[in-house]
Amino acid sequence: MTAARILLADDHALVRRGVRLILDQEPDLTVVAEAGDGAEAVERVRDTDVDLVILDIAMPRMTGLQAAREIGRRSSRGEPPRMLMLSMHDNEQYFFESLKLGACGYVLKSVADEDLVGACRAALRGEAFVYPGAMGALVRDYLDRMRRGERVPETVLTEREDEVLKLIAEGSSSKEIARALTISIKTVERHRANILAKLGMRDRTQLTRYAIRAGLIEP
Amino acid sequence: MRLYWKVVLINGAVLAVATLLLVLGPFSVSRHPVVSEAVVLGVGLLVMLVTNSLLLRSSFKPIEKVVAEYDAMFERLEDERAASSARALAAQEAERHRIARELHDDVGQQLTVVLLGLKQLEQRVPPELADELAALRESTRDGLDDVRRVVRRLRPGVLEDLGLPNALASLANDFAEHSSASVRRVVTPGLPPLSPEAELVVYRVAQEALTNAARHAHADGVELSLTRVGDRVALVVADDGRGFDTRTDGDGLRGMRERARLAHGELAVTSSPAGTTVRLEVPSS
């Protein structure tokens, strides 16, 4: 198996180095190029063959979001690479905007040490990496629709998944849910992934379609 | 001459003339006045009143001028006060912006470097140090979360990066997460453009109105809308809570008014026991 080729864009050289060291430890991931701002990232995508682009949102010259828009446009060489956004901002609107621009997910810098590798693999599989902060908004919308009697994806959640779903809707973090239900964080995260899959929000396109229909993003 | 003496003198003079006329003129009043006498007396009284009021009016003129000047001064002072608090608000926002940027760009990035570095070290240190290293990593994460929270409170980054509709959506989400009330959000597409200052004002007013609804109103539902009114943009935040007395200008309400003025907008707050509506209209740029 050849390792996935990654382009890493962040204006902070030391952050870049940190991310690179973490990714390069994984046998299936390799950073093949770096960029210090959005414009440079767009150029690298043109001249380097990459499978995945990791973009920091706050960058000079061209922000990560602007760069994602450029990269997401289908190039003459076929499918654009998969994209993953990296950011300090804990705000679900960034996640939805990232989705809209064609990115597979959004990783918060404060959990990059835990989530980044998993997010990269999900993105490479074409799945969405739903950042925990956005789960609340998605799930609340789902519950609202169910209450109003609208047609929602048919789902059979287990009792535990139902509990987790409600706690997510109330804005609890994985850590808080783990404590409330006396289960491990890893288990909470597995439930989270299962719930998403059951609600039909596993892959990027499904999730984007859902978010647009729910009015969480403009089409 | 003092105004008091002027009034006494004028009244005295008019009365003196009237008395003189009564004494010297061909007038007489019987013990039981006849109609013609009453008419003469009436006309005399009218002439007296008119003369008196005309004379008094001219002497009161300077006072009216002073009152008008006083009013104008008062208005000017009020304008200046509002302008200076608007300036203070703008300066405060600018300062917040600067601090947020430094926290985000410097402290945040450095902590990210430490976090990633610690993670990377974990696989290379002897196993007995792993727990300690993991604890350090959690502390770093908490630090990073704190920085992020402070930055978010200081500066609505989403407003600058993603625009007003997204920023309002994010406020609505925050509200839904921390309150039992449901929030409905209506944003008409194709709104006229606002200056960054006006957008910030709209955002802060919406934030304040939602905070009030959550904190004091005990509302079940809130509607947040952003629509176009001619070439202006109208923000309406309406809740079905228990309302409050809008005459007692709380800090929140005063803050909203001052911000509205900053954007040359108009703020109207109506409240009854059936709910509160905050309406802000700002001109487009």
Please tell me the distance in Å from A149's CA to the nearest CA on chain B.
Answer: 16
Please tell me the distance in Å from B79's CA to the nearest CA on chain A.
Answer: 38
Q: Which pLDDT tens digit goes with each residue over B56-94?
A: 888 888 888 899 999 999 999 988 887 888 888 889 889
Q: Which pLDDT tens digit goes with each residue over A88-144?
A: 888 888 888 888 888 998 999 988 988 899 899 989 988 888 887 788 777 777 777
Residue in chain B closest to A12 (alpha carbons) equals: B109
Instruction: Please name which of B168, B165, B198 lies closest in space to residue B183, comparing C-alpha atoms.
Output: B168
Question: Residue B285 — very low, low, confident or very high, per pLDDT cuts 50/70/90?
Answer: confident
Query: Considering the domain boundaries, does residue A179 fall inside one?
Result: yes
Nearest to B170 among A18, A22, A93 (CB): A93
Query: Considering the domain boundaries, does residue A218 fall inside one?
Result: no
pLDDT of residue A6: 96
The Cβ-side half-sphere exposure at A185, using a 13 Å CA radius, reads 8
Pairs from B26-35 (Cβ < 8 Å, separation ≥ 24): none
Fold of domain B162-283 = Heat Shock Protein 90 (3.30.565)
Residues A140 and A114 in one domain: no
Q: Which pLDDT tens digit goes with each residue over B177-205?
A: 777 788 888 888 888 999 988 999 999 99
- Average pLDDT of chain A, as a whole number: 85
Residue B23 clears pLDDT 60, i.e. is over it: yes
Query: Considering the domain boundaries, does residue A89 fall inside one?
Result: yes
Instruction: Point out the least confidently predicted range of A78-92, A143-157, B126-140.
Output: A143-157
For chain B, the helix, strand and coil percentages under 3-state DSSP, each to the nearest 5? 70, 15, 20
Residues A169 and A110 in one domain: no
Residues A93 and A151 in one domain: no
Residues A203 and A173 in one domain: yes
Query: Considering the domain boundaries, does residue A199 fall inside one?
Result: yes
B276 and B238 Cβ atoms separated by less than 8 Å: yes
Distance of CA B126 to the CA centre of its chain: 62
Q: What phi, psi does B6 have (nearest 5°)?
A: -60, -45
Contact B113 A14 (CB under 8 A): yes
Nearest to A18 among B120, B137, B157 (CB): B120
Distance (Å, rounded) from C-alpha B33 to C-alpha B196? Answer: 82
Contact B109 A216 (CB under 8 A): no
Residue A74 clears pLDDT 70, i.e. is over it: no
Residue in chain A closest to B144 (alpha carbons) equals: A110
Contact B189 A136 (CB under 8 A): no
Nearest to A25 among B104, B123, B185 (CB): B123
Query: Considering the domain boundaries, does residue A219 fall inside one?
Result: no
Write out the residue range of the structural domain in which residue A154 sits. 133-213
Pairing relation of β-strands A105-108 and A82-87?
parallel
Residues A140 and A206 in one domain: yes
pLDDT of residue A24: 92
Residue A78 clears pLDDT 80, i.e. is over it: no
Pairing relation of β-strands A82-87 and A52-56?
parallel
Mutating which of B116, B148, B152 best tests the A interface, going by the most A Cβ atoms within 10 A? B116
For chains A and B, count residue pairs whose Cβ atoms are closer than 8 Å: 104
Contact B161 A111 (CB under 8 A): no
Residue A76 clears pLDDT 60, i.e. is over it: no
Residues A143 and A80 in one domain: no
A109: chain B residues, CB-CB within 8 Å:
108, 112, 115, 144
B136 — contact with chain A (CB < 8 Å)? no
Residue after which a domain boundary falls, among A129, A158, A193: A129
Nearest to B162 among A14, A97, A171 (CB): A97
ipTM of this complex prediction, to 2 decimal places = 0.82
Residues A98 and A34 in one domain: yes
Query: Considering the domain boundaries, does residue A93 fall inside one?
Result: yes
Contact B177 A88 (CB under 8 A): no
Contact A109 B115 (CB under 8 A): yes
B120 — contact with chain A (CB < 8 Å)? yes
Question: Residue A38 — very low, low, confident or very high, per pLDDT cuts 50/70/90?
Answer: very high
Residue A151 clears pLDDT 70, i.e. is over it: no
User: What CATH number does residue A102 fall under?
Assistant: 3.40.50.2300
pLDDT of residue A218: 67
Residues A27 and A106 in one domain: yes
Distance (Å, rounded) from C-alpha B138 to C-alpha A135? Answer: 22
Q: What is the rounded radius of gyration, in angstroms, for the C-alpha atoms of chain B?
A: 35
B155 — contact with chain A (CB < 8 Å)? no
Query: Considering the domain boundaries, does residue A149 fall inside one?
Result: yes
Question: What SS3 state is found at B155?
Answer: coil
Residues A117 and A34 in one domain: yes
Residues A91 and A195 in one domain: no
Q: Which pLDDT tens digit goes with each residue over B155-177?
A: 888 888 888 988 998 888 888 87
Distance (Å, rounded) from C-alpha B201 to C-alpha B90? Answer: 10
Greater pLDDT, B284 or A77: B284
**Tally of structural domains, chain A:** 2
B226 — contact with chain A (CB < 8 Å)? no
Q: Which pLDDT tens digit goes with each residue over B137-147?
A: 999 999 998 99
Residue after which a domain boundary falls, among A129, A156, A184: A129
pLDDT of residue B204: 92
Residue in chain A closest to B159 (alpha carbons) equals: A93
Amino acid present at B66: V
Question: Residue B258 — very low, low, confident or very high, per pLDDT cuts 50/70/90?
Answer: confident
Query: Considering the domain boundaries, does residue A139 fall inside one?
Result: yes
Residues A121 and A25 in one domain: yes
Q: What phi, psi does B166 have (nearest 5°)?
A: -65, -40
Of all residues in chain B, what percent carry a pLDDT higher than 90?
31
Please tell me the distance in Å from B209's CA to the nearest CA on chain A.
Answer: 20
Question: What SS3 state is found at B283?
Answer: strand
Distance of CA B15 to the CA centre of its chain: 54
Residue after which a domain boundary falls, among A129, A157, A178: A129
pLDDT of residue A54: 96
Residues A96 and A61 in one domain: yes
B159 — contact with chain A (CB < 8 Å)? no
Task: Provide the total of helices (H) and of strands (E) in chain B, helices listed first.
Answer: 8, 5
Q: Which pLDDT tens digit goes with each residue over B202-253?
A: 999 999 999 888 877 788 889 999 999 988 999 999 998 888 777 666 777 8
Residues A63-78, mean pLDDT to the nearest whole number: 81
B43 class by beta-carbon count within 10 Å (0-12 exposed, 13-18 middle, 19+ buried): exposed
Contacting residues for B213 by C-beta, under 8 A, at least 6 apart: B175, B179, B181, B219, B222, B237, B239, B241, B276
